[in-house]
């Protein structure tokens, strides 16, 4: 009874607040992985029960739209107030085993931005870095990498080492990145990693069920560190590979890492247009408007209470 009363109070409150909201503004929520928080070393992972709670709050207090419909309505000025799109980045298998079933359960749609190299390899480069360090033999308490020593005797020390080494490797061109990862694997011993990425069949099934499939480049590079030709090829090749799998056009792109100027520039926005994308998404914090369809803002939330979660979304619309 208390929960029902609380829900009614929340609903009335958000209906009242909606009268003050700016029109034709879209919130794009971003998630990465969802699963057992206690068993993972990924900072971007959200606990399954909390993710489902987010879906429930979104259903109760917001208008969750599929990306294609939301973009169409944004363009023609008919976007409803409190409009939200759910997006999932990278393409790990929990998108199919955990996220997809919860979306179906709650009759919601989401967009999955997929880095296509993971489909064949079974993982992306940062997971290889993580597992190389996590699986180092217990008798080796120090990791030496690029003439620096990282203590790895405890679990927390390994997490710290993963974070520091990942940052070193992330901001280099793809060719150099592969070279550094090779050196890391020699130092740690090549880890065996099970396939933990979406399969072509997973992608096809999700698309047929109404999920939007978007591109996230092939190898998840920092586009600003690549040559113009390589950057454009990363975007176009991922688009073409996904279109071959789903048998329809891939209209949207999410830039890897996604910070304007640091990770992508105006040149990459123009390249995305030339590749045939209709819009592209950053990770700059904010609300989506018609200002720039090739640097659309997105937000990431991990709030654990209904009030904080909903208020963060509402304040984002109001800004």
Q: Per-residue DSSP letters for 106-117?
A: TT---EEEE-TH
Q: How confident is the model at residue 106 (pLDDT cuts 50, 70, 90)?
A: very high
Could you tell me which CATH number the domain at 25-119+197-318 has?
A: 3.20.20.370
Most confident of 19-28, 226-235, 305-314: 226-235
Query: Which pLDDT belongs to residue 19?
Result: 58
Query: Which pLDDT belongs to residue 9?
Result: 64
**Cβ neighbours of residue 145 under 8 Å, at least 6 residues apart?**
165, 168, 183, 184, 187
Q: Is the dihedral of CA 185, 186, 189, 194 positive or negative?
A: positive
pTM of the complete model: 0.93
100 vs 95, 200, 237, 276, CA distance in Å? 6, 15, 25, 27
Of 86-100, 102-116, 149-163, 225-239, which range is least confident? 149-163
d(CA 284, CA 88): 15
The domain limits of the chain are 25-119+197-318, 125-188
Predicted confidence (pLDDT) per residue in 73-91, tens digit: 999 999 998 999 999 999 9
What is the end-to-end Cα distance of the chain in Å, rounded?
Answer: 35
Predicted confidence (pLDDT) per residue in 279-300, tens digit: 999 999 988 777 899 999 999 9
Q: In this structure, are residues 27 and 288 in contact, taking their beta carbons and an 8 Å threshold?
A: yes
Overall average pLDDT of the 181-196 stretch? 91
Of 184, 209, 14, residue with least CA distance to 108: 209
Of 111, 87, 97, residue with least CA distance to 202: 97
Distance, CA of 317 to chain centre: 21
Average pLDDT taken over every residue of the chain:
91
Overall average pLDDT of the 195-203 stretch? 96
Query: Which pLDDT belongs to residue 239?
Result: 98
The helix/strand/coil state of 22 is coil
CA angle (103, 94, 171) in 5-degree steps: 120
Of 227, 205, 203, residue with least CA distance to 215: 203
Query: Which pLDDT belongs to residue 180?
Result: 97
Of 18, 22, 105, residue with least CA distance to 10: 18
Q: Write the DSSP symbol of residue 289.
A: -
pLDDT beyond 80 at 14 = no
């Amino acid at each position: 009874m208390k929960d029902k009363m609380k829900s009614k109070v929340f609903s009335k409150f958000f209906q009242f607040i909606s009268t003050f909201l700016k029109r034709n503004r879209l919130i794009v929520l971003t998630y990465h992985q969802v699963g057992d928080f206690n068993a993972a070393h990924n900072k971007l992972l959200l606990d399954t029960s909390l993710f489902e709670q987010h879906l429930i709050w979104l259903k109760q207090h917001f208008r969750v739209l599929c990306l294609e419909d939301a973009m169409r309505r944004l363009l023609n000025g008919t976007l409803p107030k409190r409009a939200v799109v759910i997006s999932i980045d990278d393409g790990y298998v929990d998108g199919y085993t955990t996220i997809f079933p919860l979306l179906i359960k709650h009759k919601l749609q989401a967009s999955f931005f997929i880095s296509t190299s993971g489909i064949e390899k079974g993982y992306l480069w940062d997971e290889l870095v993580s597992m190389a360090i996590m699986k180092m033999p217990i008798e080796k308490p120090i990791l030496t990498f690029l003439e620096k020593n990282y203590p790895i005797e405890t679990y927390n020390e390994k997490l710290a080492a993963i974070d520091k080494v990942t940052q070193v490797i992330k901001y280099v061109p793809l060719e150099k990145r592969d070279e550094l990862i090779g050196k890391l694997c020699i130092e740690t011993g090549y880890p065996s990693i099970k396939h933990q990425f979406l399969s072509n069949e997973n992608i096809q099934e999700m698309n047929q069920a109404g999920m939007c499939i978007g591109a996230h480049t092939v190898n998840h590079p920092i586009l600003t560190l690549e040559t113009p030709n390589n950057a454009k090829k990363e975007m176009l090749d991922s688009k073409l590979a996904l279109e071959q799998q789903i048998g329809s056009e891939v209209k949207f792109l999410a830039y890897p890492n996604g910070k304007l100027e640091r990770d992508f520039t105006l040149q990459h926005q123009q390249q995305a247009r030339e590749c045939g994308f209709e819009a592209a998404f950053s990770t700059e914090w904010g609300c989506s408007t018609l200002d720039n369809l090739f640097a659309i803002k997105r937000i990431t939330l991990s709030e654990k209470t209904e009030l904080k979660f909903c208020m963060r979304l509402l304040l984002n619309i109001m800004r």
